[in-house]
Chain A
């Protein structure tokens, strides 16, 4: 079975999402990081609790699926999700993953205490949004076109007033939707260069193995088979747009026959339907691993 495993980033978190996680794994991570995971809505206001929590949830789901005998042909993470994607392909060990994710969260937390964030424009193409951004951005109040989640959906990252100005222009120019997002950091833009440089430096002495499958890179949207570009993506993706639309477009060239969506949330329904039509999909946010395993085995027999 050729499967595509997709790991979302922040956004779908909720209290008690770690309830199903193997207690042994959770204890090991808490011990390694010297961090008590609280798994409450309140705690998820904290970047470290949030990022480590999401990656713990994803690593646990990966472990269970691997133990049930499934392997990804392709793995795609969105932003934070890149770490679990690399883990699923055997490129990074769990301890290295958690160490790096904790550092990533700490660096992001300190980077922009106020005044910066993200927005989104729906219904305009990337060149159209880039033209609007060019009218607004200044050295003092910078804004960038960032993540490309679908052909007509472009994120904005930057200074809040500049984002608001692009949002207004977008509405005036025919966008079907444009708004600021509740994200406190201008992720996936050059404003994160310092954070990315530090994160990449800490990854320099981490072993990154050649992926045992196809890794879909955020920063280029390309299919990757070597460890070099994968390492680059883990370290630097915060400073680059996530080209998720391209990642999914190139994934179609490998003709996967099932998609496994990891928790939390289900943010990519629309683009997946556009790219893959009515392909079999599993949402681990909505079913137990046992149910998912049952479905996957059933489809494997059928195809």
Chain B
């Protein structure tokens, strides 16, 4: 074939042919709920790259159910791309042969089954990505043929409102809409006039009203009642020994009770220390209810979010100075921008993990559970091209190198023993064994040692960024690892030497009295207190209501 004969729009033609075939089933862009299976069987070809919207929070649950019901004779061996494997049918499609390969980020809710299906060869893993790697590859070498996404509302033309839980929808839709991919969206509701347009109808091919609203879980809600005094002690140490010491202005908190404790200590302990107005005015974080007391008492100036949080809608709508809210009065979230902010704009990430090895690498992947990772690997890594003048970033700059750079603060907060009395500090991560079993290219480490600047335990804080050799780093970790096998290698002499050089700090070195770590120090003791702080605007989901 000569150049003049080459068809440079073959993808566009293929899409047009497919769309023409389903024309009889469409009215404008709309298909009937009952025709969904027929639509998917006609628009998805075997071997296609398909993004099924499984976000950390929002799930395109109607479309995932329909995809799991298609005839494997007609549609098989799909290459699925999903940021989150959250629902059983996300894996059923592999058992039934509808799909064969998966590129993903997070699989926490299905981690045992993912692990089993990799072991028996039912599911072939492309890579386990950080969120930003996965989104980025949608525009490079994982360009999707079809995307299946979820929106709250659509108007008659097919414009979409995605509201509080916009999350990944824009980035997914954009990757297909401008590369002749097919964009299919499920909507909870069809309306004449949208509150606002989050995604224009031009980018959408098919709209299908769902039989029930998309699945949404309140993943970032932590009941203050379950915060322990040990977590309060660690929170106090972190506020003094990290937030205050490094003059931290912007932060992301991972999900967990350790960070919930810090949020509830700012208006009380933080106030006592005179830190109000001095630390953490700017946040990249989901609208977690435990932030309400800090917001109400004037600690927080801005919060941008990856997604929404069930029950926080009215509260957010009433606080547009703090949250990102459209003129319609509802929040807009965006996980891609949130992750980007975590990489390039934040002073600090604080999170938790299930295992930390003797070198300081951490992972939530354990034997039998291939959980992948949520936001932690992006939030908890240091982009080396960054250049910042914020005091916190500069405070980690080595003083013996004129060209030296600062570093993002990456803090791991863990109790030395986990839930089932298993040591968190281990010589080797289970992840090393999992890499072999699942034949992965990389050991599924969540946060690398080199990016981890601080570890906080109930024993004290290790300032890993101050160590200048791996041996010293290991000694610092051992010094705060309690009576775990790793911790038992430490001794009083080494500990005192590390303390003297500021590499390890115990509570007394920070002026924190263990006996002060009481639950009464929390700004809210329970969910009801959070509702009161919100002036009745926060409406907790039923499972968090113990009163009424």
Interface positions of A (Cβ within 8 A of B): 151, 214, 220-223, 225-226, 246, 249-250, 252-255, 274
B95 & A226 in contact (Cβ 8 Å cutoff): yes
Please name all residues of chain A whose beta carbon is closer than 8 Å to the beta carbon of B95 when the two chains form the complex. Answer: 225-226
Q: A223-B113, A246-B116 are contacts. A254–B368 as well, Cβ < 8 Å?
A: no
Please name all residues of chain B whose beta carbon is closer than 8 Å to the beta carbon of A225 when the two chains form the complex. Answer: 92, 95
Which stretch (B39-47, B54-62, B104-112, B485-493) binds chain A?
Answer: B104-112
Is there a chain A Cβ closer than 8 Å to B27's Cβ?
no
Q: A222-B120, A226-B95 are contacts. A246–B112 as well, Cβ < 8 Å?
A: yes
B110 & A253 in contact (Cβ 8 Å cutoff): yes
Please name all residues of chain A whose beta carbon is closer than 8 Å to the beta carbon of B112 when the two chains form the complex. Answer: 246, 249-250, 252-253
B113 & A253 in contact (Cβ 8 Å cutoff): yes
Alpha-carbon distance between A226 and B120 when the two chains are bound, in angstroms: 15
A253 & B368 in contact (Cβ 8 Å cutoff): no
Number of interface residues of B (CB under 8 A): 13
B88 & A222 in contact (Cβ 8 Å cutoff): no
Is there a chain A Cβ closer than 8 Å to B4's Cβ?
no
Alpha-carbon distance between A274 and B420 when the two chains are bound, in angstroms: 8
A-B contact count (CB 8 A): 33
Please name all residues of chain B whose beta carbon is closer than 8 Å to the beta carbon of A249 when the two chains form the complex. Answer: 112, 368-369
Q: A223-B116, A246-B112, A249-B368 are in contact. List 5 more A-B contacts (CB 8 A).
A: A214-B88, A223-B88, A246-B116, A250-B113, A253-B112
Kindly provide the distance from the CB of B57 to the nearest chain A CB, expressed in whole angstroms.
15
Alpha-carbon distance between A255 and B111 when the two chains are bound, in angstroms: 12
Alpha-carbon distance between A151 and B95 when the two chains are bound, in angstroms: 27
Please name all residues of chain B whose beta carbon is closer than 8 Å to the beta carbon of A253 when the two chains form the complex. Answer: 88, 109-113
- 22 inter-chain pairs at a CB distance below 8 angstroms, sorted by A residue, are A151-B420, A220-B116, A221-B116, A222-B113, A222-B116, A223-B116, A225-B95, A226-B95, A246-B112, A246-B368, A249-B112, A249-B368, A249-B369, A250-B116, A252-B112, A253-B109, A253-B110, A253-B111, A253-B112, A253-B113, A255-B109, A274-B420
Considering the complex, give the chain A residue whose CB is closest to the CB of B422: A151
Considering the complex, give the chain A residue whose CB is closest to the CB of B116: A222
Q: Which of B120, B368, B420 has the most CB of A within 10 A?
A: B368
Q: In chain B, residues 120-136, which have Cβ atoms closer than 8 Å to a Cβ of chain A?
A: 120
Kindly provide the distance from the CB of A241 to the nearest chain B CB, expressed in whole angstroms.
15
Considering the complex, give the chain A residue whose CB is closest to the CB of B86: A253
Kindly provide the distance from the CB of B483 to the nearest chain A CB, expressed in whole angstroms.
16
Please name all residues of chain B whose beta carbon is closer than 8 Å to the beta carbon of A250 when the two chains form the complex. Answer: 112-113, 116
Please name all residues of chain A whose beta carbon is closer than 8 Å to the beta carbon of B120 when the two chains form the complex. Answer: 220, 222
Considering the complex, give the chain B residue whose CB is closest to the CB of A247: B112
Alpha-carbon distance between A223 and B112 when the two chains are bound, in angstroms: 10
Kindly provide the distance from the CB of A294 to the nearest chain B CB, expressed in whole angstroms.
21
Alpha-carbon distance between A222 and B368 when the two chains are bound, in angstroms: 11
Closest 10 CB pairs of A and B: A250-B112, A249-B112, A253-B110, A253-B113, A222-B116, A250-B113, A253-B112, A254-B88, A223-B113, A225-B95
